[in-house]
């Protein structure tokens, strides 16, 4: 019988997002979370990034369960792509299950997926693992950590968490249970590293509610608020402030509408029907009686706020009579898009209140003192930082050592690396297939590094297509060459350059004929090489060159 637990991260290390951790003992595997990441500016045309599931697909008969800590995209967004490949039950809390169901339904996978809902405090067994759900605070309701009982000892996987002493709903994080487990003995703690660089304690979510009250009170403008759609406590506070100030609420943005519906149906939000009006009815009321809650807190180009800012929204036109409140902080990498939207809103004459100026957002992730408290309560023998870039993981590892965890008991892993844990030691083992799979439209994984390189090339330097009609018998030129460019130069103003490109192509074809080269591939290679050299010399640019041969 195996005496070691293998822990493999397929996402969430040395990056922000696409969190996925695999626990493997003997023949049994459980998967914790299955998120997505967002493309960087180099990933032209890519919609989302998901983990490489090939290791899980290879071992799908050993997977006993997929267990989910909470309903954020970086923890559930990859599920539709995994669940079409494996057949294992999903265990999670009610709100998270509701959000997962929406996602699976969209992909036509809901009927074939078994989802088991549990409350914080409940336990279940699957394979050789015993799993207990422990309530934590985060920026979405129904978030939990997992205490995973393995044959070699107890492992705690925190998921995303903070310590909020005055939460909106749900109750405070169950520090007592973490402390009890610490007394019983925790073999290893795997903990959220997102905010390890921030000193002190995070602010309470309830602080934001009182700020909304101030901003709504005596305001004679129409109020438009954007926040993360998944933050149902924030949405509740916006609705409460609207009701207190005799305003009706309209919702716009598909993800916002979906989450409001699920959260209300499951009882996570307390709203009355007469609080709301349809977005199409907003012009029937005075501006000072309206609050519009919208998607777009990250400046996404398809979001409702973006369309409002750039005059593309059917119902809402931003103008000087509007107060726009952005109640979110930028996810790393989104700063430019958010700034573009904020600038456009200012151009429209709106009053914009955003995170840098106001206390409109609090983080859902623990700061340093909270992370120290988690280590102090659980007293782990071994420690592994999760969820963060290299600087976060390193800083969190040093924090654990400062809290008394033995230096050789702290491990920093990487995506695809196997961490081997026994009762007495932890070490990095071999690797499994891992990385980024790019989703572009309905294509999953068909955009690889070569396609991305081509897209980058096209984006930076454009393309030149050379069309030639050659004889099938001796490869002599029958017509052409014709030059077509895209994203390179404006052809009408570059007649001389176009003529020169034709000349270089003709010289190359003459040379091939002289050398009796009749192989299409060789002719294309020579045309491409000569045009490329000429263009770089003349323009210092390297467009993509595509020679096309028509055979007659």
Catalytic residue (choose from 192, 322, 440, 461) = 192
State both tokens at 265. Answer: 């149906």
State both tokens at 20. Answer: 């996925």
Mark whether 322 is an active-site residue.
no
- Measure the CA–CA gap between 109 and 112, rounded to whole angstroms: 6
The Cα angle at residue 381 between residues 376 and 385, in degrees rounded to 5:
75
Specify whether the CB–CB gap between 46 and 36 falls below 8 A. Answer: no
Specify whether the CB–CB gap between 434 and 515 falls below 8 A. Answer: no
- Measure the CA–CA gap between 58 and 56, rounded to whole angstroms: 5
Phi-psi domain of 55 (left: phi exceeds 0; alpha: psi -120 through 50; beta: other)? alpha
Mark whether 192 is an active-site residue.
yes
Cα Rg, the chain, nearest whole Å? 28
State both tokens at 130. Answer: 């015993």
Specify whether the CB–CB gap between 33 and 75 falls below 8 A. Answer: yes
Evaluated on CA atoms 208, 211, 217, 221, the torsion sign reads negative
Evaluated on CA atoms 367, 371, 374, 377, the torsion sign reads negative
- Measure the CA–CA gap between 466 and 505, rounded to whole angstroms: 8
> Which uninterrupted H or E stretch holds 134?
strand 129-135
- Measure the CA–CA gap between 193 and 413, rounded to whole angstroms: 13
- Measure the CA–CA gap between 11 and 50, rounded to whole angstroms: 8
- Measure the CA–CA gap between 37 and 162, rounded to whole angstroms: 22
DSSP 468-510: EEE-TTT--EEEEEEEEEESS--GGG-HHHHHHHHHHHHHHHH
- Measure the CA–CA gap between 99 and 230, rounded to whole angstroms: 9
> Which uninterrupted H or E stretch holds 256?
helix 254-265
Closest CA to 106 of 84, 86, 91, 88: 84
In angstroms, the Cα distances linking 31 to 7, 23, 507 are 10, 6, 61
φ, ψ of residue 250 in degrees (nearest 5): -120, 140
Phi-psi domain of 136 (left: phi exceeds 0; alpha: psi -120 through 50; beta: other)? beta
Specify whether the CB–CB gap between 70 and 96 falls below 8 A. Answer: yes
Specify whether the CB–CB gap between 69 and 144 falls below 8 A. Answer: yes
Task: Tell me if residue 262 falls in helix, strand or coil.
Answer: helix
Catalytic residue (choose from 313, 365, 392, 396) = 365
Residues designated catalytic: 192, 365
């Amino acid at each position: 019988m195996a005496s070691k637990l293998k822990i493999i991260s397929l996402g969430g290390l040395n990056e922000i997002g696409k969190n996925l951790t695999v626990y493997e003992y003997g023949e049994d595997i459980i998967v914790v979370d299955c998120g997505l990441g967002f493309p960087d500016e180099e990933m032209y045309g890519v919609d989302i990034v998901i983990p490489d599931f090939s290791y899980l697909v290879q071992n799908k008969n050993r997977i006993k369960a997929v267990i989910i800590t909470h309903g954020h995209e970086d923890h559930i967004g990859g599920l539709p792509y995994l669940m079409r490949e494996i057949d294992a039950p999903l265990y999670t809390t009610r709100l998270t299950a509701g959000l997962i169901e929406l996602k699976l339904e969209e992909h036509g996978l809901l009927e074939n997926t078994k989802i088991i809902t549990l409350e914080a405090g409940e336990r279940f067994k699957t394979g050789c693992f015993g799993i207990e759900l422990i309530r934590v605070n985060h920026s979405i309701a129904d978030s939990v950590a997992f205490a995973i009982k393995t044959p070699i000892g107890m492992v705690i996987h925190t998921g995303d968490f903070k310590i909020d002493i005055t939460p909106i709903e749900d109750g405070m994080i169950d520090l007592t249970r973490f402390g009890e487990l610490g007394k019983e003995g925790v073999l290893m703690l795997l903990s959220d590293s997102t905010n390890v660089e921030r000193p002190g304690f995070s602010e309470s979510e309830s602080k934001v509610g009182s700020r909304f009250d101030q901003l709504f009170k005596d305001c004679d403008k129409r109020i438009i608020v954007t926040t993360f759609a998944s933050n149902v406590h924030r949405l509740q506070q916006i609705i409460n402030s609207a009701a207190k100030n005799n305003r009706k609420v309209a919702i716009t943005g598909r993800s916002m509408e979906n989450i409001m519906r699920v959260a209300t149906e499951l009882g996570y939000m307390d709203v009355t029907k007469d609080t709301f009006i349809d977005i199409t009815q907003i012009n029937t009321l005075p501006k000072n009686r309206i609050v519009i809650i919208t998607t777009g807190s990250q400046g996404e180009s398809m979001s409702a706020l973006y369309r409002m800012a750039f005059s593309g929204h059917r119902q809402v036109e931003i103008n000087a009579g509007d107060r726009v409140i952005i109640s979110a902080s930028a996810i790393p990498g989104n700063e430019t898009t958010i700034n573009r939207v904020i600038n456009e809103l200012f151009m429209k004459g709106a009053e914009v209140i955003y995170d840098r100026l106001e206390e409109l957002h609090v983080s859902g992730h623990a700061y340093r003192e909270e992370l120290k408290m988690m280590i102090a309560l659980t007293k782990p023998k071994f420690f592994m930082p999760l969820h963060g870039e290299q600087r976060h993981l390193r800083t969190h590892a040093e924090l654990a050592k400062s809290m008394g965890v033995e230096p050789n008991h702290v491990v920093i892993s990487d995506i695809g690396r196997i961490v081997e844990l026994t009762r007495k030691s932890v070490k990095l083992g071999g690797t499994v297939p891992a990385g980024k799979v790019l989703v572009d439209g309905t294509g999953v994984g068909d955009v690889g590094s070569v396609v991305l390189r081509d897209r980058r090339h096209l984006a930076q330097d454009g393309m030149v297509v050379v069309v030639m009609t050659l004889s099938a018998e001796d490869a002599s030129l029958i017509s052409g060459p014709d030059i077509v460019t895209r994203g390179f130069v404006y052809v009408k103003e570059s007649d001389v350059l176009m003529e020169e490109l034709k000349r270089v192509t003709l010289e190359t074809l003459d040379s091939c004929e002289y050398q009796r080269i009749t192989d299409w591939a060789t002719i294309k290679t020579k045309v491409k090489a000569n045009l490329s050299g000429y263009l770089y010399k003349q323009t210092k640019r390297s467009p993509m060159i595509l020679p096309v041969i028509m055979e007659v």
